[in-house]
A = this chain, B = another copy of it.
Amino acid sequence: HAAQPINVVCAAPYYSSYPTMTDYLKSGLYKWGGDAETYEKDGPYIELVTSPNNPDGHVRTSKVNRSEGLLIHDLAYYWPQYTPMTSPADNDLSLFTLSKITGHAGTRIGWALVKDKEVAKKMTKFIELNSIGVSKDSQLRAAKILSAVSDSCEQENSQEGDSFFKFSQKLMTNRWKQLREVVNRGELFSLPQFSPAFCNFFNQVLEPQPAFVWLKCEGNVEDCESFLREHKILTRSGRHFGVSPKYVRISMLDTDENFSHFIDRLSSI
């Protein structure tokens, strides 16, 4: 009989598009297999390891950990402004995107580091069949942006000022400080706790400061998204990420003005 589609799993809470992106074409090659924490089937599987994780910001390793697993590391958020660079990204297959390093999500540019040449060839063939190629306009823009980021790192400590990553890291530190102050003032909400680690990029011990807040409503509030909407704060419910609606995801990457409104509204609850 025909080969069965391989199960694709990821530990909850997971990026809300993984299940639909996996299943929408009803492929005979792969299908969504659910939460990696409770996955117990035999045979080959694909595990998505998002590290730091979207939505909760935690550093992750694979959860299923059996011999026939193929790991795809989604390193969209593995950049020094968000998390300490603790080790080289020398996985079998790592995915990256311009979207989170600099915010240029509109280019739709990503890239992959792949150890197995045959797998890399199949990925290239996939792009050809999916869209013939990737926008040349976006590729040119992405190359220019990455050059500017790279130049800013080489010119660090000259009169040019902070590198792109140092600038962004300071900004994230400031925003997380404001957020923790507001949340810790009351008992309505809680935030994830992160362990500091040595960052090989900045050469110092630093605490993670993720691109998203994974906020939990403590006490009686069961639907955190609805509760916050009443206070004019738009969030994405934990439901979409395979967990309880007591959690919501909120972006930490909005404009200074919008971030300021968010902090004001949260502190007035």
Interface set of A (CB-CB < 8 Å, partner B): 17, 20-21, 24-29, 105-109, 126, 129-138, 141
B24 lies within 8 A of A26 (CB): no
* In the complex, residue of chain B having the shortest beta-carbon distance to the beta carbon of A141: B137
- Complex CA distance for A27 and B17, rounded to whole angstroms: 19
A106–B139 Cα distance when bound, in Å, is 10
Selected contact of A129 from candidates B21, B106, B136, B137, CB within 8 Å: B21
Tell me which residues across on chain B come within 8 A of A25, comparing CB atoms: 25, 27-29
* Bound Cα distance A25, B138 (Å): 26
What are 29 inter-chain pairs, A to B, with CB distance below 8 A? Answer: A17-B132, A21-B129, A24-B126, A24-B129, A25-B25, A25-B28, A25-B29, A26-B28, A26-B29, A27-B28, A28-B28, A105-B132, A106-B133, A106-B135, A106-B136, A106-B137, A107-B135, A107-B136, A108-B131, A108-B132, A108-B133, A108-B134, A109-B135, A130-B130, A135-B135, A135-B138, A137-B137, A137-B141, A138-B138
CA distance A26 to B26 in the complex (A): 8
CA distance A106 to B134 in the complex (A): 8
Chain B hits for A29, CB < 8 A: 25-26
Q: In the complex, what residues of B have CB within 8 A of residue A132's CB?
A: 17, 105, 108
- Given A135-B137, A137-B141, check contact A129 B20 (CB 8 Å): yes
How far apart are the CA atoms of A133 and B106 in the complex, in Å?
8
- Complex CA gap A124/B137 in Å reads 22
- Structural contact, A17 and B129, CB atoms closer than 8 A: yes
Give the CA-CA distance A137 to B106 in the complex, in Å. 7
Taking the closest CB of chain B, its distance from the CB of A109, in whole angstroms, is 8
- Name the 10 nearest CB pairs between A and B, nearest first: A106-B136, A26-B28, A135-B135, A137-B137, A135-B138, A25-B27, A24-B129, A137-B138, A108-B135, A137-B141
11 more contacts with CB within 8 A, not counting A105-B132, A137-B141, are A26-B28, A26-B29, A28-B28, A106-B136, A108-B132, A108-B135, A135-B135, A135-B137, A135-B138, A137-B137, A137-B138
